[in-house]
Amino acid sequence: MDFRKNIFKLLGIILFIAIAIFSYYQYRFYRNGPEIENINIKDHMRIIEPSIEIKATLLNTKAVTLNGRVIKIIDNKKIEELVVFSPGDNIITIGLKDNFGNTKSYSYDIYYSVEDKHYKTLEEIKLDEKNNSEDLIINNNN
């Protein structure tokens, strides 16, 4: 009889340990809190366009803020938001919150470089056309 009782106690302990390990393993995603899995921007990134659409894939996230504004989460795991930059240094801060109240913040420093775009005058366009037509005549004579 004592042998059977000991076997049942041992099986109960093993079952309890197995359930505890399984539960701990299943809970691993929630232990880490909210995270950004993929994002299309990098810290210290340099851009030449005045705006960029930020796209990210999230893990364990219930709410998202971008520079203090609440952003809609698509399909419970994605965000897509257009951000317009000022010339020079810009800081993008993304805040995440999960179902348990855990929060994480990610910050990206992005430099927007305004390049001088030179638009040709009418005289420059005419001069270019004249030079191109002279090149064609010279090439046809050879």
Higher per-residue confidence, 106 vs 115: 106
Whether the CB-CB separation of 109 and 82 falls below 8 Å is answered with no
Residues 48 and 16 in one domain: no
Report yes or no on 90 lying in a domain. yes
Whether residue 129 lies inside any domain: the answer is no
Same domain, 26 and 55: no
Q: Which residue has the tokens 């910050």?
A: 107
Residue 99 vs residue 116, higher pLDDT: 99
Whether residues 43 and 109 share a domain: the answer is yes
Q: What mean pLDDT value characterizes the chain?
A: 85
Per-residue model confidence (pLDDT) at position 89: 94
**Does the global pTM surpass 0.75?**
no
Q: Do 41 and 68 fall within a single domain?
A: yes
Question: What is the residue range of 79's domain?
Answer: 34-119
Domain-embedded: residue 131: no
Which phi-psi region, left, alpha or beta, contains residue 119 (left: φ > 0; alpha: ψ -120 to 50)?
Answer: beta
Same domain, 50 and 88: yes
Domain at 95, CATH number: 2.60.40.10
In a shared domain, residues 10 and 43: no
- The residue that leads in pLDDT, 14 or 127, is 14
- Asked whether residue 6 is domain-assigned, the answer is yes
Residues 44 and 97 in one domain: yes
3: left (phi over 0), alpha (psi -120 to 50) or beta: alpha
pLDDT at 133: 66
Look at residue 85 in the predicted model and tell me its pLDDT: 93
Instruction: For 66-106, write each residue's pLDDT tens digit.
Output: 999 999 999 989 999 999 999 999 999 999 999 888 899 99
Written as six digits, the tokens of 101 are: 């109240």
Question: In this predicted model, what pLDDT tens digit does every residue of 37-68 receive, in sequence order?
Answer: 999 999 999 998 899 999 999 998 999 999 99
What's the structural domain count of the chain?
Answer: 2
